[in-house]
Structure 1
Amino acid sequence: MHEHHVAHRDCMGLNMMVDGSMYSDGWHPCVPSQKPDYTGDARYFSRTQGPPKYYLIDFGLSQRYDPKDGLPLEYPILGGDKTVPEFQTSDDAHDPFPTDVYYTGNMAREDFIQKMRGFEFLQDLMLDMVQYNPSKQPTMDEVVRCFDVIRRGLSSWKLRSRIAPP
């Protein structure tokens, strides 16, 4: 999105969805372990056998910018995550792209790292993304490159390992 000069401005867990490609015959929306018609267990592939796609949804607060207009500045919009550091101390306009980086890092930290064991390999990247000073945060392109390096460095055993509550 950032490559296309679009800032989401509300990246949070409730705005993330995963497709159902892991389930070959579908699943029931209320009981995901069951087939849609309750005739048995839903058959599925592991995430490494059939990697699902993840989607960012709810573009109601999103904004597209023209790069010819220079650095975009937006006044704080308090979406689902109210912890953005620069919004705590000022109502001034800020670059929305580092805010997206913060939102995404904080979502990963709160929804994965703090709630489950098995995501420790992301800790350093998430800490970079949620730095108090937005000018010290990586860009989203740098985050993607760093994540790719981390992912390639993980063994197939680690990629297939279960996650568990602490």
Structure 2
Amino acid sequence: MASKLLPPSAASKYPGSSSPTATSSSNRPGSLPHDLAIEARQLYQFETVLSEHEAAWRDRYSFLLSRGYKLRYRYEPGWSPSWVNIDIDPAYCDDAIDTVLPMVLDATRLSDGAIVCIKRIDPKQITDEVKIAKYLASLELSRDPKNHCVAIWDHFKDPILPKVEFIVMPPLRRYADPEFGAVGEVVDFVTQLIEGMEFMHKHLVAHGDLTTQNIMMDASPILPSGWHFVAHNCTLDGVTPISPLARIDYPVRYIIIDFDCSVRLSPGQPHLITNFGGRDGDPPEYKSRDPYDPFKIDVFTLGNVFFKDFYKIYEGLDFLAGLIDIMKAPNFRQRPDAETAMKYWLNVRSRIDVGRARWRLQKRNETLGERVVYGAVAFAREGVHRMKHMLSGEVRSDSKACTMWSN
């Protein structure tokens, strides 16, 4: 991966990017003295051979190309590492970047050059993941602004293994990368996620694993130039560090992914089942052998996200306490459904002063020195923000926050 660099004393002197077709290192960004280049090639020897799961992608390169999707050069049949015979730091070569998850890879859509995410679904047991994902992404449901489920742009069967399927989705980013910076961003996140849960439940789908790992974001508003799918701290070239905008000024949309633990009930079907759920082992009903409500599992696990990812970490989010308490009620029969949770939250949100939207999120474990530094940076950023609005003729500096609050 791109993070596996030479020692800083060497690599930091040679910024740049690479092209797989280059044959000479002269005048190329990332060029190295010959002795350092030899050292770099030794460090990257393990990257010259594809892993087993990477080989599975290579074996489908031509098939995916026929479907209109081109994988990165690394997965092209007959690939030869671009750095083996030239004096280039492999960290600056895109084909030195492998994968993060074995079942997910990026590709370029030939029709328009857009970057897409392709997921290879090889279930160890029969699930309705593809059916449910396609249902929630259907044309009729996709028109609903409350639908925060991931879009499915394409779907097809594997040409080699009949049980394997592929779905093509937009490239998304972990929802907390970069970290949240303002109170208003948390308020917007909570609103969108309860809204997305309410939408799924309205259509009788219980997610089952509504946890941190399955909440992503469309980061294009804060990273308009894009980001590398694997080297996520870099731009599309895999080398240049990203410079994200503040989401309080450029609100993002949060997306729910992965429906391998999900269940879709029929109208009128009792909301009591067993053997349902994902990563979060905290719901108390798991400790009982009695049937439980899958929709109430979602309510609990999402409440746990609010608690673990925000309330425990940041100060000044006391307005979340009551919401978390009811969403994590030990007795699922006393736990609110998604619609009731949303009504409760909207009532709480209406009482939060919009002026707090731009308040800096302060971590509970910050040292005094960190608070001084981060506070100064936030103050300077706010000053720049207000100056821009003054120069542009806008009267309200919290206009974006008002929009986030009223959605």
Scaled to the shorter chain, the TM-score interval is 0.7 to 0.9
Secondary structure (helix, strand or coil) at the match of 1:18 reads strand
Alignment-derived partner of residue 208 in structure 2: 9
Larger Rg: 2
> Are 2:345 and 1:147 aligned?
yes
* More moved, 78-87 vs 34-43: 34-43
Cα gap change, 1:23/1:150 in structure 2, threshold over 3 Å: closer, same or farther? farther
Instruction: Assess, with a 3 A threshold, how the Cα gap between structure 1 residues 48 and 152 changes in structure 2: closer, same or farther.
Output: farther
Q: Which amino acid aligns with 1:95?
A: D
How many corresponding residue pairs? 162
Contact 2:300 2:327 in 1 (8 A): yes
Moved over 6 A (4+): none
Report deviation, 1:97: 1.0
- Which residue is 1:119 aligned to? 317
- TM superposition shift of 1:40: 6.3
Alignment partner, residue 42 of structure 1: 243
Q: Once the 2 structures are TM-superposed, how far is the Cα of residue 14 of structure 1 from its aligned partner?
A: 0.9
Q: Deviations over 1:80-107 (max 9, x none)?
A: 111111112x122211111111111112
- Pair 67,111 (structure 1): closer, same or farther in 2 beyond 3 Å: same
Equivalent in the alignment of 1:106: 304
Q: 1:160 aligns with which of 358, 383, 386?
A: 358
Residues 9-59 of structure 1, C-alpha deviation per residue, up to 9 Å, x if partnerless? 111111111111222222455464x54445565252x33322111111110
Using the size of structure 2 for normalisation, the TM-score is: 0.37
Q: Which amino acid aligns with 1:53?
A: R
Structure 1 distance, partners of 2:281, 2:298, is 13
Q: Do the aligned residues in 1 keep the contact of 2:277 with 2:297 (CA within 8 Å)?
A: no
Q: Which amino acid aligns with 1:121?
A: F
State percent identity of aligned pairs: 31
Amino acid corresponding to residue 65 of structure 1 in structure 2: L
- How big is the shift at 1:125? 0.5
Q: How far apart in 1 are the matches of 2:225 and 2:346?
A: 30
TM-score by length of 1: 0.85
Residue 223 of structure 2: aligned partner: 23
Cα distance in structure 2, aligned partners of 1:56 and 1:138: 20
Gap runs ≥5 in structure 1:
none
Give the gaps of 5 or more residues in structure 2: 1-199, 365-407
User: Cα offset for 1:109?
Assistant: 0.7
Partner of 1:65: 265
Q: Aligned equivalents of 2:255 and 2:227: distance in 1?
A: 19
Residues 120 and 2 of structure 1: is their aligned pair in 2 closer, same or farther, counting only changes over 3 Å?
A: same
Structure with greater strand percent: 2
The AA in structure 2 aligned to 1:64 is R
Aligned-residue Cα RMSD (Å) equals 2.1
In 2, Cα distance between equivalents of 1:41 and 1:54: 20
Whole-angstrom distance in 2 between the partners of 1:17 and 1:67: 29
Tell whether 2:255 aligns with 1:52. Answer: no
Paired with 1:131 and 1:23, the residues of 2 have a C-alpha distance of: 38
1:96 aligns with 2:297: no
Q: How does 1:66-81 map to 2 (within 5 A)?
A: 66-69=266-269, 71-81=270-280
